[in-house]
Structure 1
Amino acid sequence: MLLYIAAKAFPLRTFVVRVQPNETIARIRAQLLHILYELGRDSEQFRLRYKGQYLRDAYTCEDYKISESALLKMIPLSSKAQSALDDISISGTSDAASSSTGLLPDVHEALTKEVRLFTRRERLLFHFKSLQYVLFMGSVLSFFSTHWYSAVWSVAIWAFAVKFSPSFTRYSGFIGKQSVYKTQFCVIYGTGSLASAAAFVYFATVEISRLAMHGCKNPSYPDTCSSAALYSAIFFCIHSICLLIAAILSWQLLWNMKVEYGDYVEKCLVQNRDIEQLMQAARQHGVKVPRIAAFELATMAAASDDNKFRIVAEGGLEVLTRLALCSDEPTQEHAVETLAELMTIPAIQDTFVEMGGVRTLTALLRSKNHRTVYQVASAISYIVSDSEENKSVVVAEHGLEDLCYAANTDNLACQRLIAGVFLELVFDTDIRNQIASLNTPAEALIKLCKSPDPETKKFALQTFELLAIESSDMICAQASDHCEELLKHLLELPSTTGDTKTYILAGKILLYFAENKQSCEMMLDEPNCKKSLMRYARCHDPIMQKVIVKIIFCTLESSDLRYKAEQLELGKILTDIRDQAVDRETWDMADQALQLLSSEDDILGMPEMSTKEKMDKMSAQPKVDELKREMGGSRSSLRSRVSLHSSTSGSLSDMTKEPQ
């Protein structure tokens, strides 16, 4: 399939590469390195980005769902000014030349080797096609030989070569439809030309033996020593040599064409590099070399778990923590990306937490680079998902404040991960109480509830539900300054989404508001209250219908609220629920509410029930442990739901792929 590559460094040019869906990103990068080599810009360091996420060399186009004619962006690792700050080689004087190219030594060597092969291929094809002019003259001259019929297959072989010979340039690759069957052409032509050369050698041998037996003492060339026989002997010798050369060229082309663009470079880009060498490079001062080392470490960490343990064994956590705090943004981003990959291993998480690395991660949540924030949030999500103790460490390192700050980002990928981290944290009782006592987390969660991303919205609403599950007044008390803002959003939600699960979560939170008299009155004063409740009720989900009935029940617990409910004609909602009820219990609840609403008696004398008791009575409000099972079975499974690519890959490393 064809892919298009756009780069700001080349505003008037769009690069085109041809790859297979199962080929790696390294293959695409290798083809681009060849193009840049032809342009004299092979010193450019770059990464590829698709739909806002950086592509890693070890992954395939299928992993990233890159389709035909997709547009990828070439992102330079640094500007020329930044690259000029440091020109130190990675190791020793032997690498000095490759350092000036911006490539690691083995990559530069592989690229040079491929260029030499393709230059040779271009030269071989040029000589092969030039030789066809000679063979054409030989085919014509065959008619004047003693074996004139040899001209038939000579012309046939020449015509086959002219029609099906592939075309190749080092810059453009193979060109034309003839190049599709280039391997078959080399085999057929090589076999045919060898057979023809053998026939011509036989003819030449026959003519030479005749001339030798006759002696040709008479200058008039009588009998078998005629001028035609002498001409044929010389002609067949020369023509057989030309055919033999053409056959050799075709077989050399066949061997050469086994190498495709990127065969050698790809192996170098995804190979397991010398960790000790990379660690030494990462410890150097300057900008350029540590940046290259951090990038290579991120690629290695994404390739396998063995590489992760090798990086840690060489002191990689300390080095990466230092790089994550450097002032160079690309280096910082690659270092954090590597840490996020390492955090997929629980044993590495514990080591990282013990060395105080969480403090670094939480501080980086305030970075202005949203890609860095995304990788940090990804790393923290792994840490809080696998250990209860690590959750307390994150909170102790001012993680709540930093998470609340990061929640204000407009990047949807970051918002989803941060919402998932909040949801993981509230599973802990102590942290849940701490969050409930603060106003800042409530502001952040309200911001996340308003996210256009449906998963982020669900995670934030589930967090609110867990916070309020033990106290019906918790939501109102916690978000006292933003109660009206959250109410408006929950009431507007049916007009922005049609997801039933989101409806249920929002409806349960509305029920917490309805139980509090002040917030219930605020809800009834909203102009779109009736319309929103009607939309919620019409989702035809039994739990949602029961929640709406209980909300209306709450409006009947005081005379002033009941008066407003009557003014809003909430009875029509109950009638609609009763008419559309999907089970008997829902019908009974709606009918009972209608009777109470239409009666002159109030229900102030009814025994009070907490929200939890009301929800338990409807079998719609699970306890915290039940809610955990409802959300996916365990906190670790919830983590996989936070992953942006869980639908395509179950690997934990997919969490660090950043979509736009």
Structure 2
Amino acid sequence: MIIYVENKAFPFRTFVTLVEPTDKIARVRAHLLHSLHEIGREDHQFRLRFKGQYLRDAFYLEDYDIGENAVVKMVPMSKRNDSVYDLKSLTSSTTLNLDLGPGQTEDVKSALYRELKGFCFREKLISDFSGLMYMHFLASCLTLLTTYRIGGYVGNYTHWKYVFCVVYAVGALATLGVSLYFSSVQWMSIVNHGCKDWVFVDACSHKHVFTAIFFSFNSLLLLGAAIIVAILFFNFRLQIGDYIEKFLVQERDIEDVMKAARNGKLKEKRTAAYELAAMAASGDDNKFRIVAEDGLEVLLSLALSSDDSTQEHAVEAIEELLIIPSIQDNFVEMGGVKTLTALLRSENSKVMQEAASALYTIVSESDEHNEHKSSNQSAVVADHGIDDLAYASHQGTIYCQRTVASIFLELAFNRDIRAQLASRNIPAQAMTHLCRSNDPETQRYALQTLELLAIESSDMICAQEELLDILLELPLKTMDEKLYLIAGKILLYYAENKATCKQLVENPSLKESLTIFARTQNAVLQKVVAKVIFCTTEHKRIKSKAKQVRLDKVLGYIRDNAADREAWDMADQGLQAMNCDDDNLSTLPTLSTLEKLNKMGSKEQFGSKTSLGSDVKPSGSSSD
């Protein structure tokens, strides 16, 4: 397939690369190195980015869903403006103080030149072979002048290079045998005749001598052609990237990389951080090798570098290392989480995103290592961790906000941490802000977190005045019934609080939103709507307002279109309460508390992710 690569450093060029979906990113970079060599810029260091995500050399194109005609960005490693060199010539580069970057390593250059040498050798062989083919054509014509008058030593061939090489070699060797036979017969005839006094008659005629010389020379041509075709057969196996790929995935020994990361200059540290990220992504063995060389300490130091590129690569490497649970535990014990939470305040959005992804790896550890999960999550919220996460929820990119929302959700499943989150207003404010996101996943994570926090402190949730408007506007902006269900359950907390219940009824979007909820034909959601409306009947003034906005119409719709018998019963009871003029509703079933709403599930189930059919599993640990 064909992919296009653009680079701001070369604004007037688009590199076209022919690759396969099963090729590694390193193979694509190898193709681009050849293209850069053609314009004399093979020292240009770069990374590849697709849809805002940096591509790692050890991964495959299909891992990133890069398909036919995809456009990939080539991002320079250094901060220099390479376009300056493409647009105009510089008379004195020393006066501009440009960061020229470290350039490609010697291993990569050596592999590049080795491949180029192989391709140049192939071109020379093909050129020589082409000359031999013309000579064979001439020889075919000259056979008309020989004794045997046999023509056609070279047949048609196809573009199937491997098949052609094999067939041609076999045919050339077979023809070589025939040619040697004819040559031997003629020479033996001439020798037996003797050609006395150089008289060219009979077996020593000019035609017989020409035939002997012709087939001898033709045998040499056939032998040479067979040898060239055999060499081409093996040379055709060489593809772009065969030598370069392994050096791009793992360029240098870990000892050399760590030495440069510790003691090198800024450019060397930048390159070392990139190489560590590439090594960490290429396999578990490399991950353990990096840690064995005190790589975690070095990467934490690089992550706090003043150079943005160094920071990005260092945090990427850390994220890759944290995939291994044992490395993750070691990282938490050495206090590395503080560095990651601090990076959530970075001005570089990529650094912020990578730090958030690394933190999510820590808080979402698999169940088989659950004994460490609670302590790792506690480390994330320690010190200023909650404040840093809240900052990222406001300042991060859409993808970063989604990651932060998922982190808060994982933390909220821990009972102790959930209580800690519910004791402060900042987490609820952050989740309220994320509920306004245009990303459905971010909204879902944020709403689920708020639902869990409401279990600990419903008053804290009800204090979020903006959240009420967001919940009621939700059905007007999306058709996701899973989000409706969570929004409805959170609205139930507002309805059970007298002060917020009044605000709820006075909201102009209430009837329309509840109607949309009721029309989903979701039995649980219909019962939630009925319960919300029933709560408005517990206070005379609020019930009067509820009648004015005609909430009884919503209950009537549920009763006429109930998804199950329980929904019908609750809607009918709500209508009785709505139409009853007596303030004493003791004769009606009490439906005003979550604890007595057993038909809708227990209180613990009320905040579970199963209410959405979420793919994210709860912790299942002692924490909840």
TM over 0.5: yes
Query: Deviations along 1:412-447, whole A, 9 cap, x unmatched?
Result: 211111001111222333432332232222221111
Distance across 2 between alignment mates of 1:74 and 1:603? 72
| 1:507 equivalent in alignment to 2:493 | no
Name the structure 1 match of 2:36: 36
Equivalent residues in 2 for 1:345-356 (5 A)? Answer: 345-356=324-335
- Does 614-623 or 111-120 show the bigger shift? 614-623
Show the counterpart of 1:573: 554
Matched, 1:564 2:545: yes
Aligned partners of 1:24 and 1:61 also within 8 Å: yes
**Segment of structure 1 superposing worse, 624-633 or 286-295:** 624-633
1:427 to 406, 413, 416: 413
Per-residue deviation at 1:106?
A: 2.2
Partner of 2:286: 307
Q: Which residue of 1 aligns with 2:566?
A: 585
Looking at structure 1, the residues matched to 338 and 298 of structure 2 have their Cα atoms a distance apart, in angstroms, of 15
What amino acid maps onto 1:75 in structure 2?
V
| 1:545 paired to 2:526 | yes
Whether 1:289 aligns to 2:268 is yes
Per the TM alignment, residue 220 of structure 1 is displaced from its structure 2 partner at its CA by 4.4
| Deviation string, structure 1 residues 486-524 (Cα, Å, up to 9, x no partner) | 122111111222222211111111111111222222222
Counterpart CA distance in 2 for 1:304 and 1:188 is: 42
In the TM superposition, what is the alpha-carbon distance from 1:308 to its structure 2 partner? 1.6
Change in Cα spacing, 1:626 to 1:7, as seen in structure 2 (3 Å) is closer
Question: 1:261 pairs with 222, 236, 240, which one?
Answer: 240
**In the superposition, relative to structure 1, how do residues 309 and 636 fare at CA in structure 2: closer, same or farther (>3 Å)?**
farther
Once the two structures are TM-superposed, the CA of residue 129 in structure 1 deviates from its matched residue by 1.1
Q: Which residue of 2 aligns with 1:146?
A: 147
**Which has the bigger relative contact order, CA under 8 A and spacing at least 6?**
1
Cα distance in 2 for partners of 1:238, 1:636 equals 83
1:616 and 1:622 in contact (8 A); partners too = no
Query: Cα offset for 1:130?
Result: 2.1
The Cα of 1:49 is off from its aligned counterpart by 1.2
1:589-628 counterparts in 2 under 5 A? 589-603=570-584, 611-619=593-601, 621-623=603-605
Answer whether contact 2:352 2:396 (CA < 8 A) is retained: no
Q: Give 1:622 deviation, angstroms.
A: 3.3
Taking every aligned residue pair, what percent have the same amino acid on both sides?
Answer: 51
Deviations, residues 243-283 of structure 1 (Å, cap 9, x unaligned): 22111111111011111111111122234852222111111
- Which sections of structure 2, spanning at least 5 residues, go unmatched? 83-99, 366-372
Matches of 1:637 and 1:189 in 2, distance apart? 68
- Matched AA of 1:561: I
Shift of 1:564: 1.4
Which residue in 2 is equivalent to 1:379?
A: 358
> Structure 2 vs 1, CA of residues 567 and 620 (structure 1 numbering), >3 Å: closer, same or farther?
farther
What does the per-residue CA deviation read over 1:173-223, in whole Å, with 9 as the maximum and x for residues that have no partner? xxxxx2xx1111111112112221221121111111111111112544211
How far the C-alpha of 1:632 sits from its partner, in A, is 5.6
Give the equivalent residue in structure 1 for 2:88: none
Instruction: Give me the whole-angstrom Cα distance separating, in 2, the residues matched to 1:378 and 1:125.
Output: 52
Aligned to 2:93: none
Quick one: distance in 2 between partners of 1:607 and 1:575? 18
User: Is it true that 1:160 corresponds to 2:164 in the alignment?
Assistant: no
Structure-1 residue corresponding to 2:115: 114
1:554 aligns with 2:519: no
For 1:612, the aligned partner's letter is: L
Contact 1:537 1:548 in 2 (8 A): yes
Alpha-carbon contact 1:332-1:372 (below 8 Å) kept: yes
Tell me the SS of whatever aligns to 1:63: helix
**Alpha-carbon shift at residue 592 of structure 1 (Å):** 1.1
Aligned to 2:462: 476
CA distance in 1, matches of 2:537, 2:236: 83
The aligned residue for residue 129 of structure 1 is: 130
Which position in structure 2 is the counterpart of 1:94? Answer: none
TM-score, normalised with respect to structure 2: 0.90
Gaps of 5+ in 1: 83-98, 165-177, 639-660
Which amino acid letter does the alignment assign opposite residue 29 of structure 1?
R
Q: Secondary structure at the match of 2:395?
A: coil
Separation (CA, whole Å) in 2 of partners of 1:459 and 1:487: 17
**Does the residue aligned with 2:399 lie in a helix, a strand or coil?**
helix
Partner of 2:16: 16
Task: Give the 3-state SS of the residue equivalent to 2:207 in structure 1.
Answer: helix
Q: 1:463 to 1:625 in 2, by over 3 A?
A: closer
Partner of 1:452: 438
Tell me how far 1:470 sits from its aligned partner. 3.5
Asked whether the 8 Å contact 1:446–1:486 carries over to 2, the reply is yes
Letter of the 2:575 counterpart: L
> What is the distance in 2 between the residues matched to 1:6 and 1:489?
41
SS in 1 for 2:508: coil
Q: Distance in 2 between matches of 1:113 and 1:552?
A: 77
- 1:81: Cα distance to partner? 6.8
Selected match of 1:400 from 376, 386, 390: 386
Deviations 1:555-598 (A, max 9, x none): 11111111111111111111111122121111111111112212
Q: Is 1:323–1:331's contact at 8 Å kept on the other side of the alignment? A: yes
Contact residue 360 and residue 407 of structure 2 kept, 8 A: yes
Q: Is the contact made by 2:78 and 2:309 (CA closer than 8 Å) also made in structure 1? A: yes
How far did 1:104 drift? 2.6
Indicate the SS of the match to 1:473: helix
Match of 2:188 in 1: 209
Give me the CA root mean square deviation.
2.3
Match of 1:238? 217
